[in-house]
A and B are shown apart, each in its own frame.
Chain A
């Protein structure tokens, strides 16, 4: 079996890709996908730590996080659909009614 470090490196990479995606991409749907990537990086870290610490906690937590992530995606997409209907765009930069 691969050592713990390998899993953690993949997890850290996923997290970094997610963070960069949120910061760089302008399409709100891609931003939501990047956020999901961050959550899944956390999941991967939990699972691999759980496996290597011989503790069930890590494996269990992932199920809760997946449930939360699904609810979050549902609400996020609902908000996006609402915005698309009202203004025909999901570009984050076009959201400038409220001054920054």
Chain B
């Protein structure tokens, strides 16, 4: 038998190659020229991400629908392209936030940025493949980097605890994912989603226990990663314990990558699984929204509140998944748009949390934000915009994104799910707007620094850049969504 060499489209691989090379460059630079200064390494990381973004953008126009490299291990279609850009933007802003967080100054700088880049490469590989093995490997590259990042402040006991909890529950989920993949491999004879789909087309397996068990375990594994209820118990603890810049990163990028992989699996294979599978996703979406929003109300710590809010947002995205499963084209485009808006507003909110800290100390209680509208007007105004957008009110991006997802679900016939989702949005308005009330209508509590009131507001230039990007994007995506929506809708078509 003569060996067949796989087709490789190098130009489409360039974004991933850039990110990996950048990570190695950061590590090497740090090894040979070890310095306490993080500025240069941050700049190198940002350049790498920008170069990868440029490579993705320049590869997109000439794309005839998609290109398959390495026999399906790497698939670059419009869907991958959009998710790549989204992930790179999220990493870019996360690096800016990390550069602004002072408590990270005491920790070694090089590994931090290298790990962010490695995690980014894992996310891209996970989103740009139709092979389940590659999804597993991408997920592990991403997760292993994040376990280390969560415990990055080595002498912080809360960070240690967050890292261990994340590691134990994350690996537990990976075990489920792998076992589920093995079951599907056994039932359908391949780990390539396209081949599984064509096998299922000729041999329906919706009554095959191994196949259904496999799909269920994969749902558990990916459900952990996106923090869907009932697999969400790690999220609040890890979000609270990890350094805020890391929390910002892991609340956005990994979620986007895991959802992209989830969408690909459900869209290519889920259609052959029958009604029960849709019902499971339906219940998961409803539970995730409701639990996330209801528990968020009681949180006194802003990082925990944002953790539950991100669980709730995973629920809204699951609504899009349920609708997309019915073949509703609007749903996949709406999902991509939602992820984009969510990245900007969530990263922005975390950036305000980082920037409002004083010195190396972080202020994460909601009570700490009292009176911030007067002491730090710029930060408070930015936070107010992000909260309005997270709540899904016009004129921000959050409103448009929710509108598209909900109308897709209604078109697909899930009226009751949309009713649940809208009720949840109403609940969420309460705790998002409560923060605005605290910032503008309460007197600053004891221990607020007097200097900030008198002198001009000081925000580090990195945080300012991140905030500017996030604010402009959140408003722009709400006021003039046309071009991006069109791009997202065109990207919603998967390569089969």
Interface residues of A (CB under 8 A from B): 8, 11, 15, 18-19, 22, 28, 31-32, 35, 38-39, 41-43, 45-46, 49-50, 53, 55, 57-58, 61, 64-65, 68, 71-72, 75-76, 78-80, 82-83, 86-87, 92, 95, 97-100
Contact = CB atoms under 8 A, between A and B. Distances in A.
B160 A45 contact: no
Interface residues of B, number: 40
B162 interface: yes
A87 B167 CA distance: 18
B191 A76 contact: no
A39 B178 contact: yes
A49 B182 contact: yes
A79 B163 contact: yes
A86 B164 CA distance: 13
Interface stretch (B94-102, B148-156, B322-330): B148-156
B185 interface: yes
B185 A22 contact: no
Contact of A53 (B160, B167, B189): B189
B151 A86 contact: no
Contacts of A82: 151, 154, 160, 163
Those 5 A-B pairs whose CB atoms lie nearest each other, nearest first: A38-B175, A45-B182, A42-B178, A49-B186, A98-B237
B198 to A, nearest CB: 15
A28 B164 contact: yes
18 contacts: A8-B186, A22-B168, A31-B168, A38-B175, A42-B182, A46-B182, A61-B133, A64-B133, A68-B136, A71-B140, A75-B148, A78-B148, A82-B151, A82-B160, A83-B164, A92-B168, A97-B157, A98-B237
B171 interface: yes
A8 B213 CA distance: 13
A49 B164 contact: no
A22 B172 contact: yes
A87 B157 CA distance: 8
B165 interface: yes
Interface of B: 133, 136-137, 140, 144, 147-148, 151, 154-155, 157-158, 160-165, 167-168, 171-172, 174-176, 178-179, 181-183, 185-186, 189-191, 233, 236-237, 240-241
Given A71-B144, A79-B151, A97-B241, A41 B179 contact: yes
A91 B308 CA distance: 27
Contacts of A78: 148
B147 A75 contact: yes
A72 B151 contact: no
Contact of A98 (B140, B151, B162): B162
B191 A61 contact: yes
Contacts of A38: 172, 175-176, 178-179
Given A64-B136, A76-B168, A86-B157, 4 more contacts: A11-B182, A32-B171, A72-B140, A72-B174
Contact of B171 (A35, A45, A57, A83): A35
Contacts of B186: 8, 45, 49, 53
A96 to B, nearest CB: 8
Nearest to A38: B175
B182 to A, nearest CB: 4
Q: Count chain A CB atoms within 10 A of each CB in B140, B155, B236 and give the residue with the most.
A: B140
Contacts of A86: 155, 157, 160
Contacts of B183: 45
A39 B175 contact: yes
Contact of A75 (B167, B181, B185): B167
A73 to B, nearest CB: 9
A94 B138 CA distance: 32
B123 to A, nearest CB: 16
A50 to B, nearest CB: 8
A49 B162 CA distance: 37
B151 A95 contact: no
A58 B329 CA distance: 34
Nearest to B186: A49
A59 B183 CA distance: 14
B179 A15 contact: yes
Contact of A49 (B140, B155, B185): B185
Contacts of B236: 98
A25 B164 CA distance: 15
Given A39-B175, A41-B179, A75-B167, A100 B160 contact: no
B286 to A, nearest CB: 24
Contacts of A50: 185
Q: Which of B154, B160, B175 neighbours the largest number of chain A CB atoms within 10 Å of its CB?
A: B175
Contacts of A68: 136-137, 140
Contacts of B171: 32, 35, 72, 76
Contact of A95 (B161, B185, B240): B161
Contacts of A19: 175
Nearest to A50: B185
Given A92-B168, A98-B240, A35 B175 contact: yes
Of listed A43, A53, A76, A80, residue having the most chain B CB within 10 A: A76
Contacts of A32: 168, 171
B249 to A, nearest CB: 17
Contacts of B164: 28, 79-80, 83, 92, 95
A24 to B, nearest CB: 13
Contacts of B140: 68, 71-72
